[in-house]
Amino acid sequence: MAIFKPPKAIRGGIPICFPQFSNHGPLEQHGFARNRFWSIDSDPPPFPTNSSNKAFIDLILKPSEEDMKIWPHSFEFRLRVTLGPGGDLMLTSRIRNTNLDGKPFTFTFAYHTYFSVSDISEVRVEGLETLDYLDNLQNKERFTEQGDAITFESEVDKIYLSTPTKIAILDHEKKRTFVIRKDGLPDAVVWNPWDKKAKAMADFGDDEYKHMLCVEAAAVEKPITLKPGEEWRGRQELSAVPSSYCSGQLDPQRVLQGS
Ligand SMILES: O=P(O)(O)OC[C@H]1O[C@H](O)[C@H](O)[C@@H](O)[C@@H]1O
């Protein structure tokens, strides 16, 4: 049901929310970066990532004059997309303040990752239990998660705070676990629109909420400020591992704590 027509972002995949996450600020929802065409960065400044044995592409986004009217700052946003031999996907963002007027800028950020799941009612998220979160469905009020792993039986839109660097999504029915590893991104947004909101979205099938879950590595609660010349980095790595959680062969704690 996604609509592949610019300038709106395509629903699905990993939209990049920058310079604003959601409606946490005056800009359009999720900022403008997800609605822009990026260029290939043919000669990026080197940075230490382990890209040997992996395929990668470097992309760059710089603000247009129109963007500068919305957000009056000059920046270079470099994105390296790396694919490992086992299918692991790594995204590394480097955002640099290139303002010539000496002004710092402040932003929030998220990798708005859509995961495909067999049945949302059978999915568990491990790594967020007992954490504090801001509930977008309750005026961004702060609560503390109780109990075990997160499961789903209604609409959810929460920003978990100070999360571990590793989060797992266990798909019982598909016997598959997605592992998210992140760096520089302390928060994790968990979103499923459920039936009513799904129906209200033009680019979202009425029943598609049953087969998706967004878990988004993010920096929202504490916005990031960069002075001219400063650079921020935020990394997310995704991998899928076979799991048979239901038969007890794979202990979710081992997924979280193992390498
Ligand atoms: O519909 P979009 O602009 O893509 O946003 C989709 C969702 O993104 C995030 O997960 C937010 O927390 C939600 O409040 C929002 O509904």
Continuous segment of H or E residues that includes residue 200:
helix 194-200
Separation CA 17–CA 216 (nearest Å): 10
Q: Is 253 annotated as a binding residue?
A: no
pLDDT score, position 11: 95
**d(CA 258, ligand 1 centre) in Å:** 31
Residue 214 CB less than 6 A away from ligand 1: yes
pLDDT score, position 246: 46
Catalytic residue among 24, 112, 208, 221: 112
Q: Environment class of residue 148 by beta-carbon count within 10 Å: exposed (0-12), middle (13-18) or buried (19+)?
A: exposed
Give the CATH architecture of domain 16-257. Answer: Distorted Sandwich (2.70)
Separation CA 243–CA 249 (nearest Å): 8
Residue in 143, 141, 128 with CA at minimum distance from that of residue 215: 128
pLDDT score, position 251: 60
Separation CA 36–CA 27 (nearest Å): 15
The DSSP-derived string for 61-107 is E---HHHHHHS---EEEEEEEEE-TTS-EEEEEEEEE--SSS--EEE
Long-range contacts from 244-251, C-beta under 8 angstroms, 24+ separation? 244/175, 245/124, 245/170, 245/172, 245/175, 245/177, 246/172, 246/175, 250/177
Residue in 73, 80, 81 with CA at minimum distance from that of residue 31: 73
Q: Environment class of residue 151 by beta-carbon count within 10 Å: exposed (0-12), middle (13-18) or buried (19+)?
A: middle
Domain boundaries, the chain: 16-257
Q: Is 36 annotated as a binding residue?
A: no
CA 244 remoteness from chain centre: 26
**d(CA 150, ligand 1 centre) in Å:** 19
This complex has an ipTM of: 0.98
Residue 189 CB less than 6 A away from ligand 1: yes
Residue 53, classed as helix, strand or coil, is coil
pLDDT score, position 245: 47
User: Which residue has its alpha carbon closest to ligand 1 atom 4?
Assistant: 11
Average confidence (pLDDT) per 10 residues, the chain, 259 residues: 86 97 96 97 84 89 97 98 94 98 98 98 96 97 92 98 97 94 98 98 96 98 98 97 60 60
Q: pTM, whole model, 2 decimals?
A: 0.93
pLDDT score, position 46: 87
